[in-house]
Structure 1
Amino acid sequence: MMSSLQSLRQIISTFKSIPKFDRTMQHLKVISAGNGKVHCEMPVHDEHVNLQGGLHGGMSATLVDFVSTCALGTCENPRFGVSVDLNVSYTAAAAVGDTLTITSEVLKVGKTLGFATVDIKNQDGKLIATGRHTKFLSH
């Protein structure tokens, strides 16, 4: 049986080959995963920034969505579903060349809903954005 980390790396590898929106995750590297927690790193590239050169808010929201979903996938009896609520608070800018640390932790998995938090920090540990994600979980 594959570990959560191996499974997650395989899923992300699959996303990297899809010529669609999820390719924005092609630079995401999973450092650790398991028991409802995921730790990733990602360098900021030109395709991740807005016209002012800062990490695009939509990219931060995508990271909250994607990494929290990965964390839900490392729980016992993993289930995936659709987002019902996603909240992101932006606290600082990140620029091309920065390396982001993205961590997610599952708060609760119920019968139909899963709840997770995500922190996005730069290489200096400065909080760039924080988010909460609620997903309806299919059976």
Structure 2
Amino acid sequence: MTPSDKIESFIGQEFTASPSPFMRWLKPIVLTAEQGALEFEYTVRAEWLNPAQNLHGGVTAAIIDDIIGATVFSLNEPDFYTTINISVDYFSSAKADERIIASTHIIKKGKQFVHVQCEVWNSDKSRMLAKGTSNLFKIQTKIEP
């Protein structure tokens, strides 16, 4: 089973088969999955909040980084790609127990680099919480099946 097939097999469920322990901790629900584009839903947990009781910006950036990594993983490449930079713009916040949706797509894939975009929305997609872009670089490490 390819990585993209594995992710797709979890549509409507928590993605418990992720090779990333961090992603398993985030507990995303797979909404849509295809090669190079994913949409995951997360429930904001109390430990993700800042002192103002809003979703912490660092957690938002971590969600963006993690789903972007999964998006590159969905390309079924044998090589591992590592994040070399990430840029996040914040527009709104979320509270504990709110559901949020992160959607990604590949903007450009070259021989060594991949550029990916992610948008984070509230559950009905009426309010964008954040938008991030990242560049990832192919390294010599192979992904184990």
Q: Quickly name the TM-score band, shorter chain normalised.
A: 0.7 to 0.9
**Cα deviation 1:31-50 (Å, max 9, x = unaligned):** 22112000100111101111
Residue 136 (structure 1) aligned with residue 141 (structure 2):
no
Kindly report the root-mean-square deviation, in angstroms, between the aligned alpha carbons of the 2 structures: 2.5
Stretches of 4+ aligned residues off by more than 6 angstroms: none
Q: Which residue of 1 aligns with 2:29?
A: 29
User: For the residues of structure 2 that align with 1:17 and 1:67, how far apart are their CA atoms?
Assistant: 10
Q: What TM-score do you get using the length of structure 1 for normalisation?
A: 0.84
Task: Give CA-to-partner distance per residue, 1:70-100, whole Å, 9 cap, x none.
Answer: 1111125353222111000000011112100
Deviation at 1:25, TM superposition (A): 3.7
Change (3 A) 1:121 1:135: same
User: Structure 1 unaligned runs (5+)?
Assistant: none
Larger fraction in helix: 1
Task: Give aligned-pair identity as a percent.
Answer: 21
Instruction: Give the drift of 1:27.
Output: 2.3
Question: Structure 2 unaligned runs (5+)?
Answer: 141-145
Partners of 2:50 and 2:56 within 8 A in 1: yes
Give the distance between the partners of 1:61 and 1:55, measured in 2 at CA.
11
The answer for the alignment partner of 1:84 in structure 2 is 84
Alpha-carbon distance, 1:103 to partner: 0.5
* TM-score, length basis structure 2: 0.81
